[in-house]
Structure 1
Amino acid sequence: MRTAVFAGSFDPFTIAHYDLVQRSLSLFDKIIIGIGVNSAKTGMMHYDDREKAIKLVFQPYSQVEVQQFTGLTVDFCAKVGAGYLLRGLRNTQDFEFENAIAQNNLSLAPSIETYFLMARSGLAHISSTIVRDIYKNNGDIQPFVPAEIVPYLK
């Protein structure tokens, strides 16, 4: 079974994240959305709310699971039996950052391959950081997040 982990903080989960998972469904038998928990960080959304909301987004898709994890992403992959990491790229800066992470992950866990997907045209400008900033300044974030996420925002 080809299982991939799509790991991130997902604070909040955006339509760009959703698009990436949707496009990956034909590549993998199972996709596990791994919400990385960093107890030192205070996010906009509580980790349990992120998990509940993302599960609602993917409720119709039996091949998508959502779990929280702590520690190294490659250790989480080993725990859930994933041989692949899924990562999205919006621009060349993302490539440089993600490539460095992928190279280190390959050193730590040579059996886990990283797959990069480019952001779809019209979605590359969306980031959780920008969405949080829009939200904190009372802007409308509905065009940037799946509808199931909005009720969980604090």
Structure 2
Amino acid sequence: MRIAVYPGSFDPVTNGHLDIIKRSSKLFDKVIVAVLHNANKTPLFTVEEKMDLLFQVTKDIQNVEIDSFSGLLADYVTKNNISSIVKGLRAVSDFEYELQMALMNRKLNPDVETIFMMTSGEYSYLSSSLVKEVFRFNGCIKGLVPDEVIEAMKKKVRL
């Protein structure tokens, strides 16, 4: 069985993330979307909230599972018998960073391959950080994130 992991902070999950999830689900028997516990970031959503949103927006994709992890991705991959890491790329700047990560992951676990997927052109400028910034200033994020995410962000801001 070919199992891939698509790791990230997903704060929030965007339509760009969803595009990569859908496309990678066609290439692998199973895709695990793994939410990283990242102590270096101040997230809008908790890991549990991000996992719930990811479950909602991927529930119709049969071979996608949602999980979370902390620590090294290479350890998570080994523990879960994963053969590939899927990473989405928007621009050359993404590639430079992701290449370093891919090479380090290969050093830590030589049996795992990193697969780079170019984003669809319509999402090439999109990032979770940009979505949050536009939302904070009452800009329209319709079409940038799934409707479930918009509703969750509205509820979060009202608290």
TM class by shorter chain equals over 0.9
- Matched with 1:79 is 79
**Whole-Å separation in 1 of the counterparts to 2:152 and 2:39:** 19
The size of the alignment, in residue pairs, is: 154
Tell me if the contact between 2:22 and 2:61 (Cα under 8 Å) persists in the aligned partners: no
Q: Aligned letter for 1:69? A: F
Does 1:110 pair with 2:110? yes
- Matched with 2:42 is 42
- Aligned residues: CA RMSD: 1.1
**Whole-Å separation in 1 of the counterparts to 2:79 and 2:134:** 36
Q: Aligned letter for 2:113? A: E
CA displacement at 1:48 relative to structure 2: 0.9
- Matched with 1:64 is 64
**Whole-Å separation in 2 of the counterparts to 1:64 and 1:39:** 26
Residues 74-114 of structure 1 show CA distances to partners (whole Å, capped at 9, x for unaligned) of: 11112222110000111111111110110111001101100
**Whole-Å separation in 1 of the counterparts to 2:100 and 2:32:** 22
Structure with the higher helix share, 1 or 2 = 2
- Matched with 2:25 is 25
Comparing both chains, which one has the higher relative contact order based on Cα–Cα distances under 8 Å and sequence gaps of 6 or more? 1
Tell me if the contact between 1:32 and 1:67 (Cα under 8 Å) persists in the aligned partners: yes
CA displacement at 1:38 relative to structure 2: 2.2
Q: Aligned letter for 2:138? A: N
**Whole-Å separation in 2 of the counterparts to 1:83 and 1:65:** 15
Tell me if the contact between 2:10 and 2:128 (Cα under 8 Å) persists in the aligned partners: yes
Return 5+ residue gaps in structure 2 as ranges. none
CA displacement at 1:40 relative to structure 2: 5.0
**Whole-Å separation in 2 of the counterparts to 1:116 and 1:52:** 26
Return 5+ residue gaps in structure 1 as ranges. none
**Whole-Å separation in 1 of the counterparts to 2:151 and 2:53:** 8
CA displacement at 1:132 relative to structure 2: 1.1
Give the structure-2-normalised TM-score.
0.92
Tell me if the contact between 1:131 and 1:144 (Cα under 8 Å) persists in the aligned partners: yes
- Matched with 2:5 is 5
